[in-house]
Amino acid sequence: MSSSHTKSDLSPDGKPNPSIARHGRPLGGDTARSTRGSAIVDLSGQVLNNGATTHLTQPRKPTWIRAQIPGGKGYEAIRDNMEKHGLSTVCQEASCPNIADCWSRGTATIMILGDICTRSCGFCNVRTGKPLPPDYDEPKNVGKSVALMGLKHIVITCVDRDDLADGGASIWAETIKETHRQAPNTSVEVLVGDFAGDRSAMQTVIDSKPEILAHNIETVPRMHRAVRPQATYERSIGVLQQIGNSSLVSKTGIMVGIGETDEEVISLLEDIQKRAQTEIITIGQYLQPTRNHLPVERWGHPDQFKKYEQIGLALGFRVVEAGPLVRSSYHAEEQVLTLESRKLVE
C-alpha cells in the first residue's frame, strides 16, 4: 500500500481513511454516467489509493470465505426459467457469492425494472447508466415464473429508477399483486430503494401488501458519502420508519468490512431499533466485486458476526442473520420461519 497520504487522508489515529482518501479511477458500476449523459458522482476522491499502478488490488480472502461453484440441476432449472421469461436476478447482476447455494436449493432473488441502475454505489456491481423503458408485461411474467418455480418464498428487488416519476412504484405494486394472484402459496418479500424520499411512492408498495418489505441501509452514517453517494442515512431511516408503521414485516441489511468500526456497527443497530423498530436485519461481509469498486478494509471473523447477532437480538431485533456470506436474501425463507416461531413463543 502506498504510504503517500495527505493529512486529510488520515483518520485521527493516523491510519488511512477509506471514506475520504483518493483513488485513481472512478468507482462503482459506472460512476461517471447519469441518465442525462453527464457525471452525477465520481468516487475517485473518496476511496483509498493503493498505489499508482496496482490500485485496489483485491486482497486474498480468508479461509472462511468460500463460495460454491455454480452448477447442478436446481441451479440450471432456475437459470433456464429466468432466461425463458426474460427476467434478471440480483444473484447474477450483483455477483452474489451464494448463487450456487440458493439456486441449487430452488430459491432465487428476481430483479425487476431492468438491469441498469440510475445510481452508482461504490460497492455494487450492477451497471449504471440510462435504463430502458419499463416492461409493462413484467409483473405478469414475474408472477408466472414464480408460480412455475413452486417456491414457498420469493425475494424480489430492483435497480433504482430515478428516471421514472414514481421510481417504479406502480410496477412494483403490480408485480406483487400478480405474484400473489398467480402463486397464492408463495410469500413475497421485496427489497426496495428509497424512491428518492417520495413517501407516496413507498406507500404504493406498502399498499400492495408484500409479506416482508425490506430496505437496506447498507452502512454506518460516516461511510454513506463513499458507499451510497446518491442516498442519505436519514432518508433510509425514514423509509424504515414508514415500513415499521405499517402492518408489514420490516427488514434491513448492512455490510461490514468497508471502513466502519465495530463500535459504529453497534451504534447503527441501536439507532435502527430506537427509531424504526425494524424486525429483521442481515449483516454480511462486504466483498469487492472488481478492482474498480470500494476496497475491502477488513475481513470480519465468524466469531465477530456471532457477536453482532447476539447484540442485535438483545437490542430487540426479532431475527438477526449474521455471517461472512450473508446477503439480504440469503436463507430468506428460514428467516420467515424463525420470525414466525419467535412470535408464537411471545
Q: Tens digit of pLDDT for each residue in 260-287? A: 999 999 999 999 999 999 999 999 999 8
Q: Tell me the average pLDDT across 61-78.
A: 69
How many domains are there within the chain? 1
Residue 67 is predicted with a pLDDT of: 58
Phi, psi of 314 (to 5 degrees): -65, -30
Residue 198 has pLDDT above 80, yes or no: yes
Distances (CA, A) of 317 to 280, 308, 313: 6, 11, 5
Q: What is the CATH number of the domain that holds 139?
A: 3.20.20.70
The pLDDT of residue 118 is above 90:
yes
Would you say residue 147 lies in a domain? Answer: yes
> Is the model's pTM score more than 0.85?
no
Rounded to the nearest angstrom, the gap between the alpha carbon of residue 22 and the centroid of all alpha carbons in its chain is 25
266 assigned to some structural domain: yes
Tell me whether residue 30 is in a domain.
no
Residue in this structure with the C-alpha cell 430452488, named with its chain if needed: 106
Q: Which amino acid is at 208?
A: S
Domain encompassing residue 184? 62-345
99 in a domain, yes or no? yes
Note whether residue 95 is domain-resident: yes
Query: pLDDT-derived band of residue 324, with 50, 70 and 90 as boundaries?
Result: very high
Cell of 80: 433456464
**Alpha-carbon distance 164 to 168, whole Å?**
6
Residue 94 falls inside a structural domain: yes
Q: Does 264 fall in a domain?
A: yes
Q: Residue 77 — very low, low, confident or very high, per pLDDT cuts 50/70/90?
A: confident
Let me know if residue 292 belongs to a domain: yes
Q: For residues 11-20, b (16+ Cβ closer than 10 Å) or e, as one string?
A: eeeeebbbbb
Of 230, 205, 234, 201, nearest to 217 by C-alpha is 234
